[in-house]
Chain A
Amino acid sequence: MPRWLKATLITLGSLVGLVVLVFVLACYLIFTPARLTSIVNKLSDKYILCESSFEKVDLTLFRTFPDAGLELKNVYLVNPLDDSVKHGAQVGDTLARLNRLTVAVNVRDFLKHRDIKVTQLLLDDVEANVFISDNGTTNFDIFPPSSDTTESEPFEIPENIDIKKISVSNLNCIFNDVRDGMKADVRSLDLSVDGRWQNSSADAKLKMSSSEVAVVMKDSLGSETLNALLHQLQMKVKGEGPLSNLKGTLALSLPQASVVMDGMQYVTDYANQQSKDLLKVDMPFSANLDSMAFSVTDATLALAQFVVRLTADAQLANESRPLTVDARFSTNGWQLAELLPMLPAQFTSWAKTMDVDGELKLEGTAVGSLTDTTMPLVDARLTLADGHFTDKSLIPYELKKINGDVAARLNLSQGGKSNATINSLTLRFNKNDLALTGELTDMLGDLLADLNLKGNVNLPDLAYYYPESLSLQAKGKAKLDVNAKATLDQITAMDLKSMKVSGTVSVKDLDVNMDNDILATSPKVDLAIQIPAKKHTSTFKEMLSARITGGKLHADVRSSNISADLISADVEAGISDIMDDRQPLMVAATFKVDKLTATMDTLNAILTAPEGSFEMVPDKKDPAKVRYKVRYNNSALYCKVNDSLSVNLAGLSVSGSAYYDSTRANVLQQWSPNLDVDFKRGYVNVAQLPYVVQIPDIKFNYKPERCEIASANIVFGNSDYYLSGSVTGLEKWISHEDMLRGDLSFTSNYTNVDDLMEVLSGLGTDADTLEKQRQEDKVAQEANPFIVPKDVDFTLHTRIKDLTAFGNDLQELGGNVTVKDGVAVLDQVGFVCKAAKMQLTAIYKTPRVNHIFVGLDFHLLDIGVSELVDMIPMVDTLVPMLSAFDGNADFHLCAETYVNAFYQPKMSTLRGVAALTGKDLVVLDNETFDKISKLMLFKKKTKNVIDSLDVEMTVFRKEVEMYPFEISMDKYQIVASGRHNLNNSYDYHLEIVQSPLPNRLAVDVLGVMPKLGFKLSKCRYAEMYKPEKRNELQKQTLEMKALIRKSLEANVKADTRQYKGLTD
C-alpha cells in the first residue's frame, strides 16, 4: 500500500471515529435512560390498553451494531381478566414479563428517508401467560383499535426484507385456549431467525430449541385427546436462493417425548431410553415456488435407530394439474426385536408372548399423482433376514432362520389393485424347514392368494397340533409341496369348495401310534390332495380329491388283534364339502392294492390284487340314512382260521349298494344291502371234515329280504351240489321276528347225507341254547346228535342221481327236502333203487338234544323181496319168513320213535305199522321150507309158489305183532299170526285151515331164536276167511288189518306209482 494512501486512510478513520464518538457521547447526553423511560411509559399509556411498566429504557449500539437499538428492561404487561371471563380458569394477571426487549433500527434510513426499518428484535427471559376464554375473550388484546379507516391494500411481499436477527431467548410461555380446549406450556424456548429477502431471492435461517414443550388438547366434552410433552426439541431450517430455485435444509431433533392420544401412549419408555434421539430429521430440500415443485434428496427421517431415507420430487396441484409425487425410499436394517418395543403397547399386545426378531428392510418408490381418484403407485420390497420367532402358545418350537423377500405394488387409485409377490419366505424349526412363495393379488380389496408351500417336516414336531382327545404319536419325515389359491373371504369363511388347492405330501419312515391301539408303519407313503376334485361322480359334487399311495404299509389294531400288511396300495378318494354343515359328508373312493395280508386273532388272510370302489352318500333330508355303493374284486384270496378252517379263492367279485338306516333293528336291516357276489374256484378246508370243500362257482344276488342264488356249485368230499333259488327273510330271521325261508333247487350227481348232516347240525340254534339244553338233559359231552336248524323254513327241490344215507345207496332221487323250525322232512315223491319204485317221507325233529324224533313213511312198490331185505335188513327181523320168498311185492312201512342224544331208541316211544303184499312169490329152497314141507307132507312136484301174501304188522315198543295172514300152497291154506319181541322171543301161531287132513291143525312156534320149539295148538282162524261164519273177534281182527293197510296206503302218492326216475 502506498504511504500516501495509508496516511489518508488513517486520517479518515480517525475522523470517522471522532464523529462516532461525538455521536455516542451526544446520544448519552441527550437520550438518557431516564428521559427515554419517561417517553416510553407515556407512549405505552397511549398505545397499550392494559397496565404496562418499563423499568428502564436505554439506547444501545453495541448489541445491535451497526444499527442503533432501543433496549427496554423489565417490561411488564398486566391485564387481569374478570372472573366472569375466566370461568374458574387459573389465569395470572400478568400477561407478559420481559427481562429485556431490544429493537434495532437502521439509523441511516431513518436519518435519510425518515423510514423506521426494524432490523433486529431481541427478547430475553420472557415469561408469557396467554389466555383465550371460552367466549373468545383474550388477555392479549391490549392494543387500541386503529383509527385509520382507509381500506388496506392487499399484502404484497416487499421487494426487500432484511431481518438481521429475530431472537427470543429463554421464553417461558403458558398458552391456555379454553375455547378450543388447548393448553400449551413452553419452557426455555430459544428462537433465532436471520433472513433477507432481496430481488426475489431469499437467504434465511431459523433455529429453534426448547427444553420442554407441553401441549394438552381436549374435546368439547372435556376429554383429553392429546397430551404431548417434547423434551429438548431442536430445529434448524435454512433456505437460500430465488423462489424458482430455493434450496435449503431442515434439521430437527427430539431426544425424548411423550405423546398420548385418546389415552394411548404413542411413545414408549423404551423409545425414550434409546441412546439416539427419539426423532431426528435431516432433510435437504429444494423448491421451485413458481411451479410449486419440491424435492428432497437423501433425506433421513430417524425414529431412534430406525432410519428412512427419502429422495422425492413433488409438485403441488394447481388448476391444471394434480399433485404429483416421485419418491424413492429405503430403510436401514430394522431389528424387529428393537422395533416392537418402540411401538405403542396397544399395537403390540399380540406380541406379548412372542420372542421375535429379524432384520427388516424396506425400499421402494412412490410415483404418480394424487387426485380424488388416483394415488401414487407404490412399489415396495420388504426383506427379512435371519429372523426368529418363538411363541409357545402358538408354536411349541422356535422358528429360526426366517428369511423373506416380498415385493409389493400398491395401487391405491380408484379401481386399482395392490399386489404382492412373495419371492421367498423360508424358516426352520427343529430340523424342519418350510418355504413359501406366491402371489397376493388385490390385497386391499378382495385378496387373492396364490401360494406354494414346500417343506420338510418331522411328524413328531406336529404332535402339538393333534387334538388332545386323539392320543396320537407319529414319526416320519414329510415332504410337502402344496399349492393353494384362495381369496381372503374364502379363507376367512373356510370356503374350501371355492379354493384351489393341490399338492403332495410324501412321508418317509412313517410310524403312527394312535392310543397305543392302532399302529401303522410304512417306509414311504405319498398323499396327493386336490381342491376342487380332479373328477366328479354323478352322485354328488366332490370338493376334494385325495390319493394315497404306498409301497408297503403295515398296520396293527391291538384291541381287535388285527395286523395287516399292504403292498403297493393306491387309494383315491373324493370328498364332498366338509365345511358345509348343511349337507353330510359324502365320500367316493377307488382302491387298488397289489397284496393285502391280514391277521385277526386266529384269522389269517391274504388277498392278491384287491381293487374296487366305494361310495358313501348320506340322504340330504336325513343324514343318518346313508347310501353306499361298493365294487370289489380280487384275483386270489387265502383265508385261514387256526388250523380249523382255510379258504382259498381264485377270484371274488362283489358289487352293489347298501342303504344304512340306524333306526332299523338288526345289522342287515340297518344296511339293506343289494349285492352281487361271485366266488370263483374256491377251496374250503375244515379241520372237522376229512376232505376239502371245493367251490367251483357261487354267484348270488342279495337284496333286502331276498337272496337269489343264481348258481352255487359246491363239491363236498365225494358229493357235489348245484344250488339255485332264493332265500328270503334273512333280516327278520336275525331279529328273531320271522323264520328264514328258502326255496332252492338242489341238483347233485352224488350226495352223502351223513356228511351234510354233520355240517348242518345245530345251524340256527345258538350255542348257548344248545349247551343249556345239554345241561338240562344231562347229555354226555360225547353225544353229538344232529340238531335241526331252528327258525328256518327251507325247501330243497332235489334231483340226485346217487345218494348215500345211513349206509344205504339210493339212485334217481327226486323230491323235496324241507327243514322247518327244527323239523327236517325228506319228502321224496319217488326214487328208484335197484329193484323198486320208492316213496320216502322221513322226518327228523329235535325238540331237545336228548329227545329226538325220527319218523319214516316208506313205500316200496313192486320191489324184489331179496332186494328189500338187503336194503332194509330190519324187515327180515320183522317178517322172518320173508327171506324165504322171492318175487316182487309192495311194502309199506310207517314207523317212528324218539331217540336219545346217542341215537339210541327210546323203546317206550317206538311205534310202527307195516304192510306187505305179494303175489306169486317163490318159496326158496331153504331149511324152513324143508321143515314145513316135510311137516305138511307136500307133494314132491308142488311148486314152491304162493299165490298171495297179505301181511300187516305193528310195532309197539318192543313188541312186533303180526296180524293173521293167509298163505296158500299146494292143497294147503295156512294162516299165520303172532308176536315177537325185539329180544327175539317168538310166539307165533301157524294154523292149517285147509288141508287133505280131516281135521284142522294148529302149531304154535315158541321160544327164542334160534331155539324155536313147535307144539300143537288150538285152531283160531278156521272161519276167519269165511265171511258168513267169522266171529266178532275175527271181524275185529280183519278190521284192524284193514285199518292198518288203509292208513298206510293212503300216504302213497299217485306220482310215486308212475315214477320212472329223473328226467332231464
Chain B
Amino acid sequence: MKRLSKHLLLAAMVSLCFAACKQDTPDFSPEELVGKWVCGTEYWRYDSEYTAYPIETGSTVNVNGFTWDVGDDVQESEAQGFQWNVRGDQLTQIHILQNTGASLPKVYTLLSVTPDELQYRDNYGQTFTFTRVQ
C-alpha cells in the first residue's frame, strides 16, 4: 500500500509538471478567413459583413457565414447560415437553425490560413483542409 502511495505521488508530481507548461498558440486574423473555401463538394463562405438570415418563426438572425454541399444538390442560394469568429487560434462557428433560430456551436482550432488554404482541427483530432475558391 505504501508502495502504491509512492507511485501515486510520483504520478501526481509528474502531472503537475505537465500542467504547469503552457503551449504558445498562434493568433489568426478573421480577415484571413474571409472568402469562399471548398473541400470536395463542400463549400464554406466566410463573409466580412453580416447578413439577415430568415428564421421560420418570422424573425431574422444576423449571420456572416454560409455552407453548402453541391454533392447533396444544395446550391449557394440555398446555403445554411452560421456566425463565426476567430480568437487566437480558436475558430468558433455557431450554426443557426432555420427552424427556430436555435444555436449549434462548433469550435475548431485553426492550424493554418494561407491565401490558398485553410486548415483547422476539431477537438477530436479530425483535421479539415480547404482551398480558396475566391
Contact = CB atoms under 8 A, between A and B. Distances in A.
Q: Is chain A's binding surface mostly helix, strand, loop or mixed?
A: strand
B111 interface: no
A992 to B, nearest CB: 14
B103 A913 contact: yes
Contacts of A453: none
B69 A906 contact: yes
Given A843-B56, A999-B11, A908 B68 contact: yes
Nearest to B90: A1036
A1050 to B, nearest CB: 8
A999 B6 CA distance: 12
Contacts of B71: 908
Contacts of A1040: 105, 107
Given A954-B104, A954-B106, A1044-B105, A909 B72 contact: yes
B102 A1051 contact: yes
A185 to B, nearest CB: 117
Contact of B98 (A896, A907, A908): A896
Interface in B112-128: 124
Most chain-A CB neighbours within 10 Å: which of B56, B94, B102? B102
A911 B80 contact: yes
B76 to A, nearest CB: 13
B103 A857 contact: no
A956 B97 CA distance: 11
A823 B99 CA distance: 11
Contact of B104 (A853, A906, A913): A913
A913 B78 contact: no
B101 interface: yes
A474 interface: no
B94 A896 contact: no
A911 B97 contact: yes
Interface of B is mostly: mixed
A908 B100 contact: no
Nearest to A856: B99
Given A894-B99, A894-B100, A908-B72, A851 B78 contact: yes
A847 interface: yes
A987 interface: yes
B95 A851 contact: no
A841 interface: yes
Interface in A89-134: none
Interface string A831-875: 000000000010101010011010111000000000000000000
Interface string B56-83: 1000000000011101111000101000
B99 A843 contact: yes
Contacts of B69: 906, 908-909
B8 interface: yes
B32 interface: no
B103 A855 contact: no
Given A979-B124, A1040-B107, A906 B73 contact: yes
B22 to A, nearest CB: 10
B103 A1044 contact: yes
Contacts of A855: 56, 97-100
Interface in A294-312: none
B8 A1043 contact: no
Contacts of A999: 8, 11-12
A913 B102 contact: yes
B104 A956 contact: yes
A912 B104 contact: yes
A954 B105 contact: yes
Given A855-B99, A895-B97, A999-B8, 11 more contacts: A823-B56, A851-B73, A855-B56, A898-B78, A908-B72, A909-B72, A909-B74, A912-B104, A979-B124, A1047-B100, A1047-B103
The 5 lowest CB-CB distance pairs between A and B, nearest first, are A855-B99, A908-B69, A906-B72, A894-B102, A1047-B102
17 contacts: A847-B78, A851-B74, A853-B98, A857-B99, A857-B100, A894-B99, A896-B99, A908-B67, A909-B72, A911-B95, A911-B104, A912-B97, A955-B104, A956-B95, A998-B8, A1044-B102, A1044-B105
Interface of A: 777, 823, 825, 841, 843, 845, 847, 850-851, 853, 855-857, 894-896, 898, 900, 906-909, 911-913, 954-956, 961, 979, 987, 998-999, 1036, 1040, 1043-1044, 1047-1048, 1051
